[in-house]
Structure 1
């Protein structure tokens, strides 16, 4: 088991960043697949979905095995797979090789995320560490989004960025435990998941919550271009500002910490996100489009950080954190396809209404889980002023 400590566990923060970067870069990764390779937009989206499904599979497979296999060893295996998979896909020009690399890299990302989630759950304040990890991945993804367009065409740049990040994080794995302190007994290793009903409910709603976010994200560019009649440059500028707003949201989430509990940020935040989705999907001008996208990107990381923290609070061994994160990846994978199908069949405005209605439906059970966790085990941990600057949260 990871030892609990009061200082921010930077190896876990870095590992979290490396594991989450692939989903954050999904829009540009998929967009460049169909422009740099002989793939249709649908086929490129399928490759992106396969990458995320591979990542989710790693989480489901390793949810209860991180301590037994050893965090350091497993983290290094995950990072190695990410470097080899994404790096190979970036250099390859044959579609089968790119797909194989994406699947290998996705499994590596999921493995790194599983180790990070397990370690974060063992911290005295999981929310603080989660927001630090989300701040790191938000800032890095924003930098990649701003840099990649200036590096030429082709599918390799975003994939190479993920591989290089994994490579850069590798040296920090030396500070992770090599294995759990004494080998767990059979009874301990097979101990049932605590708070089973709450965990299952959260794991069931997480894919729906994630799907709605990524359904909007997957078609936001088309909304700006075709419905709001904006130029590509203007849409890009809105997205850049929105990513900056996401960083502010992450910082805000870290500053708030557990002061508001978890029920209000998760329940109230989800309702506000539903409003933002409706606004963005119905946008016909710059003001409405920018307002919806920027507000959504500000709120999304705040709520996400509390959802991850809630999952971590349900089991100090991190199993629910990994399972909920993997379930969320399933929704992330299905999001772009869902958004495309809904918008094609019913239009962007109707798509936004359907997605918002879905969010409102799942807000109630998610809030109920948060209220129950608050009554059981929501510790109030004071965050030192000198470390608050690192707290934060967001995705693609």
Structure 2
């Protein structure tokens, strides 16, 4: 699909003789025509590098009604912000605007005759974009049904995907859950734009959809794949994508049957949640490596507050007047009770660590040389982080 779009844009660039690009409806770049570097403005240069468009550009273009336009729209320059004048031609199909052809018109040379070629091409581009969007929506709906639907809905989605031959017979599947750190709206917008690109790193047949908190990718796993196969997919996906928001990624357990994809989704979602609560498990967190934390992250919220050892609660009560005790304890336990490593991670002297540990032990009445006491402390602090995250 991209090559087809690229060919049309290349032809337009050659015909009208100005830098030309195709964007989606949010003005984020899809393909660019050839151009001389000296002939473009800073906005296009940024689009080339990041493939995204600043919000102020969308607002500027919106002032001139491109969202409702059915023909070419002239956009005046904004020299103070490095924006040259442009002509924007909507790429429409079935009464739907699917994208825009953006032509730099620095010297105001694009008259009606020269633009007629662009208008004709816009119809073909609109058709290609529209059909691609419909295919995406269909795939996204199938995946959403497969991982979030009722048992009956999941069964129908699995049967349809099997009929389509989307996945090699006998191959397991796994789910990746990508969540913008902090969950900001701007982060979700960038993630949505990125999600629907053609990703060479995704295995053939992979499905994608948006989730209220992020993005879901379902990918087939070769039966002979190494255990780190899903991690490698994530590494390839994120490599060089500087326009993406900061992400955490949850990886679900591979499932041998497509009907069980919802289990991998649930685990991936929980793993991503764990990486938000306990940063030391992320930014890429695999469900099969969470260990004992799986018990905590999977426990219903109304049960959590009853699980904490009451002695840990004494530490919480003393926190205002004993700053750093809980952080020091957590780092110490995370470091395998290695005092030197704890001091290095906290950037304090080892004597400070000893003092804080002794103070914490006296405050809560626990013996740090006792394995069960250390376990109660470690799980209690992890539980505290989880409760704090739910309160935010």
Q: TM-score, normalised by structure 1?
A: 0.22
Which has the higher Rg, Structure 1 or Structure 2?
A: 2
Which has a greater percent of strand? 2
Question: Does 1 or 2 have the higher relative contact order (CA < 8 Å, sep 6+)?
Answer: 1
Which has a greater percent of helix? 1
